[in-house]
Amino acid sequence: MGSLADPVVTICLWDVDGTLISTGGAGRSAMLGALEELTGRDLSWDGIEVSGQTDRCILHQFAKKYRLSWDVLQEKTFIAVYCNRLRRELGQSRGQIQKGVKEILELSRQRHERSIVHGLLTGNFQEAALIKLDHFGLDSYFPFGAFAQDGFDRLDLARAALRKAIQFVAQPVDPVQVLIIGDTPHDIRCAYGIGAQALAVATGNFSRKELLATGHSAVWENLGDVEAFFSFLKSLSARRHHKGKRDLVRKESKNVSLPLAAPPA
C-alpha cells in the first residue's frame, strides 16, 4: 500500500512478542543459541530482563554480564546467526497467533482500509520480526514499523515509529491519533512518552493486575472480543473529535473582541 489519500483516523502500532504472537520459546532459544555459537561459551538467561526490552538492549545485558565486546560488525554477524536459528526453532515450536489478532487485522483491511493503519513498534531486530510475522502469515498487514535498529530503548522506537507513520500516510499525524498496543508496562510508558494512546493486553508475562498497577486503565485480558476493539478505536476517535471542537471554541473565544461597555446614562 502506498501513501493514503483519505484522512487517517487511527494508527495502531503493535508490539510483536506477547502481543501479536507467541513463539513458544523459539525466539529466546534461537537468541541464546546464537550467542553461545559466537562466543563458544555456555550462557544463561538468569538476570537478563527480556519483557519490553529491545534486542539491542538484551545483547548489551549479555555483554555486561559475561564481559563480552560488541560492535556494529558483531551485531550484524549475530543477527545473521540468530535469524538462521530462529527459522529452525519456529519450525519446531508450538507458537501461535494471539487471540483475536488475525481477525482484527483482516477486518481492518476489509472495513477500514483507509481510516485505520497498522504498523509495528517492536524491540525485535527487523530481520527477526519479519521472520516471525512471515512464519505466522501476518507480515502483509504491516507496511512500516520501528525495530531494534531504530533505537536502544522503547521510547526511541516510539519516536521512530511515529516518524515512519507520518512518512507512510503522507499527511500530518497528531500523536493522539496513535494507539500503541503491547503487553508490558514499557509499552504503556512509551505511549505516554510521545503523547499517544495505549492499550495493554495481559497476553505476555505481565498479568492484568500488574499492568493496571501502572495506573493505566485500558488493560484487557486479550483481544478476543474483536468488535470491542473496533468500538474502543471509535471511542478514541470520538474523544479526539470532542477535544478538538472544545479546543477550537477556546481558541476562537480568545480572538473575540468584546464590545466596550456603554457609559452610564
Q: What pLDDT score was predicted for residue 259?
A: 31
R_g of the chain computed on alpha carbons: 22
Nine-digit cell string for 143: 507496511
Q: Could you tell me which of 230, 149, 153, 235 has the C-alpha nearest to residue 194?
A: 153
Name the residue ranges covered by the structural domains of the chain.
Answer: 10-22+96-247, 26-92
Residues 195 and 70: their CA atoms lie apart, in Å, by 34
pLDDT digits (tens, 9 = 90+) for 70-120: 776 688 999 999 999 999 999 999 999 999 999 999 999 998 877 999 999
CATH code for the domain defined by 10-22+96-247 = 3.40.50.1000
Residue type (1 letter), 229: F
Q: Which residues does residue 129 pair with via DSSP β-bridges, in sequence order?
A: none
User: Rounded distance, CA 252 to CA 18, Å?
Assistant: 46
pLDDT of residue 25: 96
Quote the DSSP letter at residue 134. H
pLDDT surpassing 50 at residue 243: yes
Whether 250 shows a pLDDT value over 70: the answer reads no
pLDDT score recorded for residue 112: 80
Confirm if 223 and 229 have CB atoms less than 8 A apart. Answer: yes
CA atoms of 141 and 219, how far apart (whole Å): 24
The reply to whether the predicted model has a pTM over 0.75 is yes
Please list, in sequence order, all residues whose beta carbon lies within 8 angstroms of the beta carbon of residue 189, skipping any fewer than 6 positions away.
Answer: 154, 155, 214
Looking at the DSSP assignment, which residues form a beta bridge with residue 183? none
Q: How far is residue 183's CA from residue 179's CA, in Å, rounded to a whole number? A: 13
Share above pLDDT 70 across residues of the chain, in percent, rounded to a whole number: 87
Cα(55)–Cα(87) distance, rounded to whole angstroms? 17
Question: Which among 158, 172, 171 has a CA at the least distance from the CA of 119?
Answer: 158
pLDDT of residue 73: 64
| Whether the predicted pLDDT of 263 surpasses 80 | no
Q: What is the structure's pLDDT at 175?
A: 94
Each residue's pLDDT tens digit, 187-225:
999 999 999 999 999 999 999 999 999 999 899 999 999
Query: Residue 161's closest CA among 182, 136, 132?
Result: 182
